[in-house]
Amino acid sequence: MKRKRWINFGFQAGALVLAFLISSLILVAAGVPPFQAYAAIIKGALGSAKNIEYLLISWSPLLLTTAGVLITFSAGMWNIGVEGQMTLGAIFTTWVMRLLQDSSLPPGLILVFGILAGVAGGAIWAGLAGALKTFGGVNEIFGGLGLNFVSTALTIYLVFGPWKRPGVGSMSGTQPFGRELWLPSLPNMELSAWSLGLSILVVVVVYFLLRGTHFGLRLKAVGRNMKAAYLMGVPTWQYSMFAFLLCGAFVGLAGAIQVTAVYHRLLPNVSGGFGFLGLLVAMLINYQAIWAAPVAFFFAMINTGSIQLQIVYKLASSFAGVLQSLLVLLVLLGEGARQRLLKKPWD
pLDDT tens, residue by residue, 48-81: 888 899 999 999 999 999 999 999 988 888 888 9
Average pLDDT over all residues of the chain: 86
**In this structure, what are the phi and psi dihedrals at residue 158, rounded to the nearest 5 degrees?**
-70, -45
Q: Count the neighbouring beta carbons within 10 Å of the beta carbon of residue 12.
A: 18
Q: Which residue has the higher pLDDT, 88 or 233?
A: 88
- CA 322 to CA 293: how far, in whole Å? 21
pTM passes above 0.75: yes
Cα-based distances in Å from 246 to 37, 157, 240, 285: 39, 27, 10, 20
Residue 48 burial by Cβ neighbours in a 10 Å radius (0-12, 13-18, 19+): exposed
For residue 304, give the nearest of 270, 271, 272, 326 by alpha carbon.
272
Q: Could you tell me the fold of the domain covering 41-314?
A: ABC transporter involved in vitamin B12 uptake, BtuC (1.10.3470)
Q: How many Å separate Cα 157 from the centre of its chain?
A: 24
pLDDT score, position 7 = 63
Collapsed DSSP state (helix, strand, coil) of residue 317: coil
pLDDT at 85 over 90: yes
Q: What is the mean pLDDT of residues 292-300?
A: 91
- Residue spans of the domains in the chain: they are 1-32+320-347, 41-314
